[in-house]
Structure 1
Amino acid sequence: MRLVVDLNRCQGYAQCVFLAPDVFALHGDEALLFSPRFDEAQRDRVEEAAAACPVQAILVDYSDEPTRGAEPHVG
């Protein structure tokens, strides 16, 4: 599982920090820090945090598969 936050969209409302404090943290007044990888134990809290984001800046990606069409480079 992987977490992506669009920091250009994030407005620092910090609902995510309150709902998943082991994954998100607010540094100073506006700087959001987060762990891009989280374990299954945090899944429900991260989903709640993503849903609570008023600007929908949080994306939770459950696929650990490589991007389709991306072929490994063989030199």
Structure 2
Amino acid sequence: MKQTKENLEKNNRVCLAVWNKDWQGAKLVGTAEYFSEGEWKKFVEEMVENKGLPAKGAILISLEEVLVLK
């Protein structure tokens, strides 16, 4: 995540496209913060989905816009 952290330090504006198995999706736009320690990193480390995987950090995205994709 070194490159990710460096990229977010230069420009923390992000846009994500997400969808479910039925191809219903959304575009999420916001600003991101990177946490290499503290409560957000601990939260990521303790997620069942991440069990046994190393976590270098956590990225918190504050949403500014959600667009439903059709």
TM-score, with length taken from structure 1 = 0.22
User: Taking CA–CA contacts closer than 8 Å with sequence separation of 6 or more, which of the two structures ends up with the larger relative contact order?
Assistant: 1
More strand by share: 2
